[in-house]
Structure 1
Amino acid sequence: MTLEITGRSAAEIAASVRERIERGALRPGDPLPSVRTLADELGVNRNTAVAAYRQLTLAGLVETRGRGGTRVVDRAPTAQEGFTPDSVLRDVATGNPDPALIPDPATALAGVAGHRVLYGEPVIDPGLERWADAWMRADLAPSEVRLTITSGAADAVERLLAQALVRDDAVALEDPCFLTSIHTVRMGGYRPVPVPVDDEGMTVAGLRAALDQGVRALVCTPRAQNPTGASLSERRAAELREMLREHPYVLVIEDDHFSMLSRSPFRSVIGPDHQRWALVRSVSKFLGPDMCLAVTASDAETAERLAMRLSPGTTWVSHLLQRLTLALVSDPGVAAGIARAGGHYAARNAAFAARLTALGIPARAGDGLNLWVALPVPAREVSTHLMRRGWLARTGDEFSLGSVPTTHRLRLTVHDLSDEDAGRLAADIAAAVDTAAASAGGRRARTEVG
């Protein structure tokens, strides 16, 4: 019997596979028999085998990879952003904004705490809605725009995908990709389809290949792409819009996470006639991660479905938080501080890239909080050497979906380092590269001698 799977009904077959997984007889990544093979082995109708696999897919136990067949899902935890609190190493992998550049909400909070909100009141605070409407419409081609407030960008993307997709639907993701996007797609039971990213953003050939594979949704970062720092050029954005014209009902989600801090202009892939779309802007990068609020602008149908996804659980985002957000973004002093913060991130990243270049490791600063550094040796080896020197760095393979090589990349968060610490880290990276290169040369020599 194939893999000792038993059963006559779809439920019995699914239960048998589940038991094999729970007992460890089937491990993450193991292939399951094709529908035809399973049906023939068990003497059942192929539709019964299809139904069994569908039950397992909906339970998140297996995934279908097209020609790659059906495999047991790898439930290994996905890497997340943020500090590593139990480490004694200096963490240059956090992806965090500089806390010194986050506005102090104390004064604004005292002025917004009076009004008490009850059930049945508008979901969006009227003042925030007026401000957000102007903020979002300024960069959108579609004439009809509906707004929704969610508890941050990740919450918005998760709910947007859930209202449009079912398990095993294909979602186009940038490669390398933002860690939270990878986690959201995998936990939702969707199938990630990688689209390579270059210096101009998501590639045309990559998007064409993803559309040919039948993706139902696309998550795109127009500027300050994490981890690469790439921003869409005007030419690339126009090419992607033109390609998407032939697929107006693919849900296009633009995550403009860096928005007010960005040094790059906003260029959208959403054309004026696209039918299913959403632009998501969080306030967490410039007002702080604890300000869990994002504005989503979308077409009317997507907005209605998103509201339905909100209604069973978090019916609305705290109006206190909404009014605090409005008070902060409307304050000229805060706005000036956000502008200075954006300049600070850009300047510190550029300075560190120049340090590395001067040490023989050519580097270029993109947009955003991080640097995406190419190395001449495997990043894992460099990371290990850096740990011995007191640094905790993040390697590129954590962000990889497999369509582009990332094994020789580091993603670094260095904007909060002093000049002295930045110089030390750059020197330690150069020394780690030299050590790894010398070790590789030694290994090659020993192999040749052997």
Structure 2
Amino acid sequence: MAEQAETAITGGTAAEIADSVRDLIESGILVPGDPLPPVRVLARRLEVNRNTVVAAYGLLARSGAVIGQGRAGTRVAEHTPMAQEGYVATGTLRDVASGTLRDVGTGNPAAELIPDLSTALHAAVGRPVLYGEPVIDRGLEAWARDWIAPDVPSDFQLTVTSGAVDAVERLLAQALTRDDAVALEDPCFLASIQVTRFGGYRAVAVPVDDEGMTVDGLRAALAQGVRAVIGTPRAQNPTGVSLSARRAEALRAVLAEYPYVLVIEDDYYSLLSQRQFHSMVGPDHRRWALVRSVSKFIGPDICLALVASDAETASRLAMRLSPGTTWVSHLLQRTAHALLSDAGTRAAIARAGAHYAARNEAFATRLAQHGIETVAGDGINLWVGLPVFARDVGERLKERGWLVRTGDEFRLDPAAGPSRHLRLTIHELDDSEAEALAVDLAEAVRAGR
């Protein structure tokens, strides 16, 4: 197809050339894996500057239509599925369901630790909500304001969205246009990678260390012109790292020079967290949002997140909601409020957070006894560093009956090389199962050496 594409591609600007290639892909003239003409060849035929073709290929790459392979050229991207939380590939799902494989990579909370919804659902049933009424349940709004107020830099407005991912997607859409740059933690939460890619934004990686997003990394990203920053103040997924007070202060100092860059803090773990909340948003920052989902503690099926933000961001976010869902179901809002305002439920959530922390700490101790040193951070998962490539260890564990997630899925830059980390969800293993996994993991590492 390369020869046919070379003569079919038209255009005199980068946008026109990119649109022409998209048309060829959509019409099936170009299919996944097909090479695009070399930059030099296409520029000569179209009688444009080589930089124009480079820019066109860049637009296509950022939209996910093509993939650059260095000296191997540029090819139409394969339609490979993206990794998702809790998701198991179809072929593997059969093995998990049959018990052949034990899945310790789901990222899911423990079902038995999610509060019983029956009483709250009964309390949520009431007068029907009609068009034109307030979009936020008054009881939930009052409770949420008291909860959030101590952790935000200034006066705020409250918005309810259908979960944290929905909030982040709409926040980016109201502030950015296609090809704008977004600073993301690296390694990164899977949903943030997906939202950025599907929105056509350009991800700029900011490394994460044991105190959170790095200062030099954020400074470098801002210098590249990012228009939004997405950070996780506590229980960063996948690493489990939380921002220290010192690091948060340093990040605020860097961001003070960029007050109109949108800063989104995804505090998804909030009520379960064993760490204090520290914000990277300073008191004078102009564009910011704090997102708190309820999925990890009252269930993923309660698709609801609370978004506190400055007035301008809240206004734009409301406009992004108005053409579509308009509001989140008041049945969900009332159910969430009934649970979150109940002292017994709050105590159960606190016990769940302590349980996850204790199980991760215990497993880290087991690994240390087998020669694998790991620091248990905050969160549902455990981030395990390895002396060998994680992908090889993952394959060996699969042979031993374990399904794990390697750090490769969370990397923003595949060119950075294979990961040496596993992200494990082990809180549902009993002691004997945990010991078996630790032994198998240690043996898989030894085999890799």
Alignment TM-score, normalising by the size of structure 2: 0.89
> Which one-letter code corresponds to 1:165 in the other structure?
L
**2:39 matched to 1:33?**
yes
Superposition pairs for residues 392-403 of structure 1, below 5 Å? 392-402=403-413
Instruction: Tell me, in whole angstroms, the C-alpha distance in 1 between the residues paired with 2:125 and 2:198.
Output: 37
> Which one-letter code corresponds to 2:22 in the other structure?
R
Aligned residues: 431
Unmatched runs of 5 consecutive residues or more in structure 2: none
Matched with 1:440 is none
**2:335 matched to 1:329?**
no
**2:341 matched to 1:338?**
no
Change (3 A) 1:154 1:28: farther
**Is the CA contact (8 Å cut-off) linking 2:389 and 2:418 kept in structure 1?**
no
**Is the CA contact (8 Å cut-off) linking 1:57 and 1:168 kept in structure 2?**
no
Change (3 A) 1:234 1:424: same
Matching residue within 71, 78, 84 for 2:82? 78
Matched with 1:446 is none
- More displaced, 321-330 or 129-138? 129-138
**Is the CA contact (8 Å cut-off) linking 1:32 and 1:71 kept in structure 2?**
no
Change (3 A) 1:214 1:431: same
**2:437 matched to 1:425?**
yes
Instruction: Tell me, in whole angstroms, the C-alpha distance in 1 between the residues paired with 2:390 and 2:62.
Output: 37
Matched with 1:390 is 401
**Is the CA contact (8 Å cut-off) linking 1:262 and 1:368 kept in structure 2?**
yes
The CA deviation at 1:70 is 8.9
**Is the CA contact (8 Å cut-off) linking 2:30 and 2:76 kept in structure 1?**
no
**Is the CA contact (8 Å cut-off) linking 2:290 and 2:308 kept in structure 1?**
yes
Matched with 2:214 is 203
**Is the CA contact (8 Å cut-off) linking 1:261 and 1:339 kept in structure 2?**
yes
Matching residue within 126, 138, 155 for 2:150? 138
**Is the CA contact (8 Å cut-off) linking 1:20 and 1:26 kept in structure 2?**
no
Matched with 2:196 is 185
Matched with 1:370 is 381
**Is the CA contact (8 Å cut-off) linking 1:57 and 1:167 kept in structure 2?**
no
The CA deviation at 1:363 is 1.1
Change (3 A) 1:333 1:25: closer
- More displaced, 109-118 or 181-190? 109-118
Q: Deviations over 1:219-277 (max 9, x none)?
A: 00001000000001111100000000001111100000100000010000001111111
Instruction: Tell me, in whole angstroms, the C-alpha distance in 2 between the residues paired with 1:207 and 1:230.
Output: 16
**Is the CA contact (8 Å cut-off) linking 2:205 and 2:412 kept in structure 1?**
yes
Matched with 1:272 is 283
Give the 3-state SS of the residue equivalent to 1:121 in structure 2.
Answer: coil
**2:227 matched to 1:219?**
no
> Which one-letter code corresponds to 1:78 in the other structure?
M
The CA deviation at 1:133 is 1.1
The CA deviation at 1:135 is 1.2
Superposition pairs for residues 29-428 of structure 1, below 5 Å? 33=39, 41-43=45-47, 61=65, 75-84=79-88, 85-88=93-96, 89-141=101-153, 143-402=154-413, 407-428=419-440
**Is the CA contact (8 Å cut-off) linking 1:32 and 1:72 kept in structure 2?**
no
Instruction: Tell me, in whole angstroms, the C-alpha distance in 1 between the residues paired with 2:247 and 2:34.
Output: 38
Alignment TM-score, normalising by the size of structure 1: 0.88
Change (3 A) 1:246 1:8: closer
The CA deviation at 1:63 is 8.6
The CA deviation at 1:42 is 1.6
> Which one-letter code corresponds to 1:242 in the other structure?
A
Percent identity, aligned pairs only? 63
Matching residue within 17, 21, 34 for 2:21? 17
Matched with 1:447 is none
Q: Deviations over 1:251-307 (max 9, x none)?
A: 100000100000010000001111111000000000011110000000111111111
Root-mean-square deviation (CA), in Å? 2.8
Matched with 1:435 is 447
The CA deviation at 1:6 is 3.8
**Is the CA contact (8 Å cut-off) linking 1:5 and 1:13 kept in structure 2?**
no
Give the 3-state SS of the residue equivalent to 2:39 in structure 1.
Answer: coil
Change (3 A) 1:236 1:28: farther
Change (3 A) 1:406 1:275: farther
Instruction: Tell me, in whole angstroms, the C-alpha distance in 1 between the residues paired with 2:61 and 2:393.
Output: 39
Give the 3-state SS of the residue equivalent to 1:97 in structure 2.
Answer: coil
> Which one-letter code corresponds to 2:151 in the other structure?
D
Instruction: Tell me, in whole angstroms, the C-alpha distance in 1 between the residues paired with 2:19 and 2:394.
Output: 43
The CA deviation at 1:83 is 4.6
> Which one-letter code corresponds to 1:193 in the other structure?
V
Q: Deviations over 1:335-383 (max 9, x none)?
A: 1100100100000000000000011111110000000001111111111
> Which one-letter code corresponds to 2:119 in the other structure?
T
Change (3 A) 1:380 1:304: same
Matching residue within 7, 13, 25 for 1:4? 7
Give the 3-state SS of the residue equivalent to 1:297 in structure 2.
Answer: strand
